[in-house]
Structure 1
Amino acid sequence: MRELFSDEAEHGVLGAVIHASLQSDPGLVEDILGQMTSADFYRADNAALFEIMLSCRDQGMPIDPVTVSALQRFLPSGESTTAYAIELAKNVPSVANWKAYAKHVKEWGVIRHIIGIAGQAEDMVQAGEPTAGVIAAAQQAMADLRDLDGETKGFKRLDEWMGAAAQVVDDKLNGNTQAWPATGLDKLDELVQGIRPKKVTVIAGLPGSGKTTLALQIAQHNAVKNHKPWLVFSIEMPGEELGLRAIASLGGVALHKLDNPTRMGDDDWMRMGAAVAQALDAPLFVCDDPVQTPTTIRATARQCQREHGLAGIVVDYLTLVRSDHGGRSRSEEVGKISKALLQLAKEMAIPVIELAQLNRESTKRVGKKPQSSDLRDSGEIEADASCILMVHRDMDTEEGQNGLTEILMTKCRHARVGSCIVQQEGQYGRFANFAGSLPSDDEVEAGRGSYAQRYKGGGQ
């Protein structure tokens, strides 16, 4: 079977950038870089080197084997960035044919994209999706293909954008668009109105609040229930622990029993088997490599997309991601990482859910409810996010001790901010729809009608 890429063309583009920079021709460098994106490259090393070149340009640095290595010493394969760049410069004699190289690279990228669309459409049909949804998804994917005439067209008249927006509204009315990924929790879905593609959703909370549980549950819902491929970067938690949590969540087997199987009864063993069967072949992929940078995340996501398709990404959690090129402060590094994940969401046209820690300021506040300004390390996280969800569980109250959790949506670009109540079932590693009633102000004041008596939810 013929390979769906050209190493020679990819090398030709990258080598041409180096030669144009060495010739002190910034206009030509900009022309070449402006024609491509890292998504056009098949090889992870080539995509990573292209991203490094973009960073050099953004920082006003020349692009040569020394400067690219200064920003990132090694490529995803482990090869020295300096050695790779020197080899490219040596093997590409000039910039004369860069347009032909770029066109060839983009053509192979389009072919891979078309093949991927066909595969995704077949998967949707096999999963029993409505035919209208399959067609709409394929049409949208085809519409995302860029022109191949070698000319960048980064702007349109406003009336063209308005026409496209009107078509989206009409498609929604007639059921010709795919639904956005959901959370699986009724009140939260009403609040958020869909996890939007091409955008970043931040789930934040204090340690132990349940933000990881919520993010994993969203990915699990879309992969297991809706058979949409999702990829989780679990930087802090090993994959085996995620597997145990999935068994507990899907099967309703208490985590403490899974930790001590001698306490499991026959029903627990049956539930565990049912959970494994339920998730069999579900396209939920986990990368638990503890060392991640924006470049490695992009390369892994691209590989997953090529091999399985990709409908969403979870990064757990943001401040554990290492910077590709460092910064003057940790806050600046986190800001660059946040920007890189937003760019990835746009490039791949999928939602990215990133988890973030909160500082302790909220615990000193009356009511203890967190705000967007409580995000730790960088205000860029707040700026880049399309939607921010704060997981708030006050363990100083009886309700909090019994699992009552408030999800505060403190920022949203497509819906009104607000909050909803969910029930945290800690022993099963999941959230559930809240089915109880909250105490009135009078009851709280009088200390009567305890929450635990009215609603026996699953606590920790």
Structure 2
Amino acid sequence: MRELFSIEAEHALLGALMLNATLFDDITSKVNSRDFSDLENAALYEAILETHASGQPIDPVTVGIERPTLPSGNRTIAYAGEIAANTPSIANWKAYRRTVLERSALRKVIEVAEVIRDSASEDKPVSEIIAMAQQATADLRNLDDDAPRYRRLDEFMGDASQAIDDKANGRAPTWPDTGLKDLDELVQGIRPKKVTVIAGLPGSGKTTLGLQIAQHNAIRTHKPWLIFSIEMPGEELGVRAIASLGGIDLRRLDNPERMKTEDWANMVNAVAQAVGAPLFICEDAVQTPASIRATARQCEREHGLAGIMVDYLGLIKAEQKGRTRSEEVGTISKALLRLAKEMNIPVIELAQLNRDSTKRVGKKPQSSDLRDSGEIEADASCILMVHRDMDTEEGQNGVTEILMTKCRHAKVGSCVLQQQGEYGRFVNFIGNPYPSDEEVEMGRVVKFTSRKGRRDYE
């Protein structure tokens, strides 16, 4: 029986990379870190890529300087040195590469087979199972060493036509959504291989919205999501989830002696909704792009992974000191975009805004208000600005405008949600938050009198 991994081949391939600089393009053009079965080997491979990207020559010392420790806590330089010293022959690098890729493909086939089997046992529609199998087959790597890494335009057009036909006939996999009707109509799906930025001023509700999207997909659609909560401890996220799912005031959860009889029943119901839901939280306060990538790969291997939410971008540590913080954040932003493409999943990253918007007439934020780096705007496929003007009666009543200031797959625009801060959630807004043109012409003023969007005219 063929083994599903070969640690020896992985070590030999890594050794060849460190011993012969001319092999870098030939190896890295076909191999990515997910092809390594061992987490230490995957981390070392990423360190090699980072060393090359920094312009340094590749050897155990430079790689160890670039990333001092591996996920296990062992020193990179010692691990890399041992591998390089024990590499049998760099002349056989093609054989090492083929073995690593073949075993990676075999693991992928088995994972897909298990997912399809589980889907069949869950009595999912046959069309959905077939679409899943087709997508998985298309994702398998071409193991032909001489296969070109380019294709003609008409081939891509053929793929696009097939995808459109599959979508029209209900065979295409659905994209993650937000669970909020107007926002879903605006965004038209949280797209895989892309980065969606949710930005806002402190206290605007961006964490609430990001958490709610991940929570919706994990609990309502049973898709595995991973949250990196760098600022907020996991226990606090748990309290918020209880409030959101159970409709319990956060203030009463903070003071249990004030909880009512129905609150206790609602809390039990909220926990029951989340039992077994594949929503995973990493609350480590120190995160780098490499640690996020390693944790995401581990989660994917053990549970599958349909999406990632990072709270928030400005707290991620740079792996290499940049000349400015803007440069560091730009590098981090691009690393998260690469992760989305490599893993074929959406990445939602939360970001802070500077205070320039508060000085603007209307106070509405723009993409240029993103703090730290313009690269965040450049790398994002979709940017959602959470705008709640607390100087207005509407804002004080929780009316929140979501401005989509950039989108590569839909028309930019905005929608309005109702923020229920006491429950740590957003709900669909009922009513019209702004006077219509007819109302303006008639000189009528819209006044909000309830959180459900009821209006009185004066």
1:132-147 equivalent positions in 2, closer than 5 A:
132-147=127-142
Q: Structure 1 residues 426 and 447, CA, compared in 2 at 3 Å: closer, same or farther?
A: farther
When residues 148 and 366 of structure 1 are mapped into structure 2, their CA distance, relative to the original with a 3 A threshold, is same
- d(CA) in 2 for partners of 1:152, 1:63: 27
Equivalent position SS for 1:35: coil
Mapped to 2, the partners of 1:444 and 1:227 lie a distance apart of 49
Amino acid across the alignment from 1:10: E
Aligned to 1:380: 375
Listed one character per residue, the Cα deviations across residues 347-404 of structure 1 (whole Å, up to 9, x for unaligned) are: 1111011111111101101100000111111111111100000000000000000000
State the shift of 1:118 in Å: 2.1
2:202 aligned partner, one-letter code: P
Residue 131 (structure 1) shift? 2.1
**TM-score, length-normalised on structure 2?**
0.95
**Which position in structure 1 is the counterpart of 2:20?**
20
CA displacement 1:38-86 (0-9 Å, x = unmatched): 1111222211221121122223321011211221111111111111111
Is the CA contact (8 Å cut-off) linking 1:439 and 1:451 kept in structure 2? no
Q: Aligned residue for 2:244? A: 249
Give the Cα separation in 2 of the matches to 1:193 and 1:444: 33
Higher mean C-alpha displacement, 82-91 vs 108-117: 108-117
**Residue 200 to residue 113, structure 1, CA distance change in 2 (3 Å):** same
Aligned to 1:6: 6
Equivalent residue runs for 1:70-85 within 5 Å: 70-85=65-80
Partner residue, 1:394: 389
Q: Secondary structure at the match of 1:240?
A: helix
- Displacement, 1:152? 5.2
Contact 1:39–1:47 (CA under 8 A) maintained in structure 2: yes
Q: Distance in 2 between matches of 1:17 and 1:175?
A: 45
Deviation of 1:125 (Å): 3.8
- Aligned twin of 1:452: 449
Q: Which stretch shifts more, 103-112 or 439-448?
A: 439-448
CA distance in 2, matches of 1:448, 1:35: 63
How far apart, CA to CA, are the structure 1 residues paired with 2:409 and 2:373? 23
* Aligned mates of 1:225, 1:152 — CA distance in 2: 42
Answer yes or no: is 1:53 the counterpart of 2:48. yes
The alignment status of 1:355 with 2:354, answered yes or no, reads no
* Shift, 1:109, TM fit: 1.1
Q: 1:434 to 1:8 in 2, by over 3 A?
A: same
1:443 Cα shift?
7.5
Name the structure 2 match of 1:29: 24
Distance across 2 between alignment mates of 1:166 and 1:142: 18
Pick closer, same or farther for the CA change 1:154–1:214 going to 2, 3 Å.
same
The 5-angstrom pairing of residues 113-262 of structure 1 reads: 113-151=108-146, 153-262=148-257
Distance 1:409 1:12 in 2: 48
The answer to whether the Cα contact below 8 Å between 1:34 and 1:152 also exists between their aligned partners in 2 is no
1:427–1:404: structure 2 CA closer, same or farther, 3 Å change rule?
same
State the one-letter code of the partner of 1:450: K
> What is the match of residue 43 of structure 1?
38
Identity %: 65
2:57 is aligned to: 62
> Following the alignment from structure 1 to structure 2, what is the Cα–Cα distance between the partners of residues 244 and 454?
23
Tell me which amino acid in the other structure corresponds to 2:411: R
Stretch of structure 1 that moved more, 127-136 or 248-257: 127-136
Cα displacement string for residues 196-229 of structure 1 (whole angstroms, at most 9, x for unaligned residues): 0011101110011111111111111111000011
Show CA shifts across 1:310-341 (max 9, x none).
11111111111111222221111111111111
Map Cα deviations across residues 164-186 of structure 1 (whole Å, 9 max, x no partner).
10110111111100111000000
Secondary structure in 1 aligned to 2:29? helix
Deviations 1:139-159 (A, max 9, x none): 101111111122353210001
Q: Which runs of 5+ in 1 are unaligned?
A: none
RMSD of aligned alpha carbons: 1.9
The question of whether the paired residues in 1 share the 8 Å contact of 2:429 and 2:453 is answered with: no
State how far apart, in whole Å, the 2-side matches of 1:3 and 1:243 are.
Answer: 41
Q: State the TM-score, normalized to the length of structure 1.
A: 0.94
